[in-house]
Amino acid sequence: MHFIAAIILILIVLTARLANKLSLPLILISLVLGILFGSDVLGLVYFDDASFAKQIADTALLFILFVGGFGTKKENLKLVLAPALILASLGVAITAILTGVSLSIFLNYSFPIAFLIGAIIASTDASAVFSILRTRSLPVKLTALTEIESATNDPMAILLTTFMIQLLTSKVLSPIQTGLSFFWQLSGGILIGILIGKIGCFLFVRTKANDKGYFYILIFGIVLLSFGLADLLGASGMLSAFFAGYVMGNSTFPFKRNVKTFLDALSTIGNVIIFVLLGLLVFPSEFSSIWFQGIVLFVILTFIARPVTVFLLTMFTRTSKKERLFLSWGGLRGAVPVVLATYPAAANMPNANNIFNIVFFAVTLSIIVQGLSLGKFADILKLTVKAKPKPDQVMELVTIHESELELYELHIDNEKYFGNATISSFNLPSDTTISMINRKEKIIAPKGSTFVFPGDILFILTHSQNVENVLAEILSHYTT
């Protein structure tokens, strides 16, 4: 088993470069390899335990949601606060209802089951959207709206799915109990997440550890605590994890950038684990009986539920028609819907296997069809803009004390820029310095009279709020 796992992980990495060229999300590669090594194709791994898959996927998912919150910046959220949060909450509910009604009409499903399927598949996939948007430079507002919606709509889908399964598998609660339960899951998850996020920042400031490994252990524990405490108190652990990440991501604490790198790695590993596991859980031979329902679900979601929801909820905003079309097509489905599709089986619901296969089939179509065309669709709509200069790498000063300075790496691409300039010719802020130059693998300690040539890699120490101006100033001395 360890040998097979090693082969799968190595193949994922080896195919990553090809996937980037084709704009294929990493989750699709993981999914395909999981199916390939599963019971119905090569038959190297037999796996059909939906309950175990749910437990593993839930654990991976809480890290993905924490990272989604951690990467949701307050300043970007302010740009699109109302439409993003409306799409992430009310939008998920409307998408689920429209999908449920459509499934009832076109496939003659009972509405409770149809609404359950709609709730399962209502949220968009943050990791897939983020990876694709990195290949295009879109207007800041549109990028923020697309990313923040995809990062924040998972908790609502989880709440609706969990709630519907409870209603379908147990005694129906009274309307008052139902309302109170839903309200507590929602509000309790948010409040507990905010509390744990603040506690996490406090612990990082108070922790004085020379070994950075302790900080990684600490953030790992905070992620688990954000979920565990909320779950213990009957609130939404997933929602709590997201808001704990949001609070910490928008706060200042020692070792933050290294922690973010660690969390990004955990999120990537989590996505890979989820989709390899779910690929193993799938039996493609069973698709012969559900492929039509899967296509219908994909068509309903992509061409009815998502566009209607987007146009309805952005009707009174300053979102243009082109931006609405992009948002409609940008509703990629991914990890969360497939994980939620294991919930009915884990709850021993009848026809749970069919629900999983139908959702899985529709999500796979979404990843392939929308995932491969989203970037080109932005080009067709002429939404791409000229990219601002960005550092190739951002490196944190390794210190247990708070610091407002960061070290940026800038590569002056010799295929784009020509000419030369001395460091003294750059009009840099007083708190900015070029600390080192890497020229053809040779390290240079720069002076004011040192020339900087295309092909050089500069290491720039400056405040984060200065970085765009500093990079633009340096690059302005070269012709393109």
Domain boundary among 380, 410, 427: 380
Does the residue 337 lie in any domain?
yes
Is 373 in the same domain as 423?
A: no
Specify whether 356 is located in the same domain as 416: no
User: Position of tokens 């899985």?
Assistant: 360
Q: Any bridge partners for residue 458, and if so which?
A: 410, 437
d(Cα 467, Cα 107) in Å, to the nearest integer? 55
Residues 45 and 194 grouped into a single domain: yes
- 396 φψ region: left (φ > 0), alpha (ψ -120 to 50), beta (else): beta
Place of tokens 């920042």: 201
What's this model's pTM, rounded to 2 decimal places? 0.72
Q: 207's torsion region: left (phi>0), alpha (psi -120 to 50) or beta?
A: beta
Residuewise pLDDT in 10s, the chain (480 residues): 678 888 888 888 887 767 666 666 677 788 888 888 887 878 788 877 777 877 887 788 788 889 888 887 787 777 777 888 899 889 999 999 999 999 999 999 999 999 999 999 998 876 667 666 655 667 778 877 887 788 778 888 888 898 888 888 875 566 677 678 778 888 898 899 999 999 999 999 888 766 778 889 999 999 999 999 998 998 888 889 989 999 999 998 888 878 888 888 888 888 888 888 878 888 888 888 999 999 999 999 999 999 999 999 998 888 889 989 999 998 888 778 888 998 898 888 888 889 999 998 999 899 889 887 887 888 888 887 655 555 555 555 555 455 567 778 888 888 778 888 999 999 988 888 898 898 887 888 898 889 999 889 888 888 877 888 888 889 888 887
Sort 205 into a burial class: Cβ within 10 Å, 0-12 / 13-18 / 19+.
Answer: middle
Query: How much is the pLDDT for 389?
Result: 53
Assess if residue 387 is contained within a domain. no
* Residues belonging to the chain: 480
Which of these three, 353, 380, 407, is where a domain ends?
Answer: 380
Quote the CA–CA distance of 164 and 176 in Å, as a whole number: 16
Count other C-beta atoms under 10 Å from residue 321's C-beta: 10
Q: Is residue 388 part of a domain?
A: no
Same domain, 31 and 169: yes
Kindly state whether residues 70 and 139 are assigned to the same domain. yes
Domain termination residue (choose one: 337, 357, 380): 380
Statement to judge: residues 191 and 334 lie in one domain: yes
- The answer on 442 and 306 residing in a single domain is no
The reply to whether 308 and 333 lie within a common domain is: yes
User: Same structural domain for residues 151 and 229?
Assistant: yes
Q: Are residues 189 and 43 both part of a single domain?
A: yes
In a domain, 311, yes or no: yes
Do residues 280 and 403 share a domain? Answer: no
* Predicted confidence (pLDDT) per residue in 93-117, tens digit: 999 999 999 999 999 999 999 999 9
Same domain, 277 and 376: yes
Six-digit token string for 388: 């601002």
Contact 325, 308 (CB under 8 A): no
Give me the torsion for CA of 185, 187, 190, 193, rounded to 10°.
Answer: -70
Residue at token pair 């706060």: 251
Is 409 part of a structural domain of the chain?
yes
Residue pair 79/144 in contact (Cβ under 8 Å)? The answer is yes
Q: What are phi and psi of 108, to 5 degrees?
A: 60, 35
Residues near 28 by Cβ (< 8 Å), separated by ≥ 6? 19, 275, 364, 367, 368, 371
Contact in structure between 57 and 339 (CB atoms under 8 Å): yes
Sign of the Cα torsion 130, 468, 260, 142 reads: negative
* Enclosing domain of residue 360: 2-380
For residue 428, count other CB atoms closer than 10 A to its CB: 17
Q: How far is the C-alpha of 153 from the C-alpha of 151, rounded, in Å?
A: 6
CATH number (domain holding residue 435): 3.30.70.1450
**Which 3-state string (H, E, C) describes the chain?**
CHHHHHHHHHHHHHCHHHHHHCCCCHHHHHHHHHHHHCCCCCCCCCCCCHHHHHHHHHHHHHHHHHHHHHCCCHHHHHHCHHHHHHHHCHHHHHHHHHHHHHHHHHCCCCHHHHHHHHHHCCCCCHHHHHHHHCCCCCCHHHHHHHHHHHHHCHHHHHHHHHHHHHHHHCCCCCHHHHHHHHHHHHHHHHHHHHHHHHHHHHHHHHCCCCCCHHHHHHHHHHHHHHHHHHHHCCCCHHHHHHHHHHHHHCCCCCCHHHHHHHHHHHHHHHHHHHHHHHHHHCCHHHHHHCHHHHHHHHHHHHHHHHHHHHHHHCCCCCCCHHHHHHHHHCCCCCHHHHHHCCHHHHCCCCCHHHHHHHHHHHHHHHHHHHHHHHHHHHHHCCCCCCCCCCCCEEECCCCCCCCCEEEEEEECCCCCCECCEEHHHCCCCCCCEEEEEEECCEEECCCCCCEECCCCEEEEEEEHHHHHHHHHHHHCCCEC
Distance CA 329, CA 369 (A): 10
Is 420 among the domain residues? Answer: yes
Closest CA to 93 of 178, 176, 153, 152: 153
Number of domains in the chain: 2
Q: Is residue 385 a part of any domain in this protein?
A: no
The contacts of residue 443 (CB under 8 Å, 6+ apart) are: 436, 437
Domain annotation covers residue 480: no
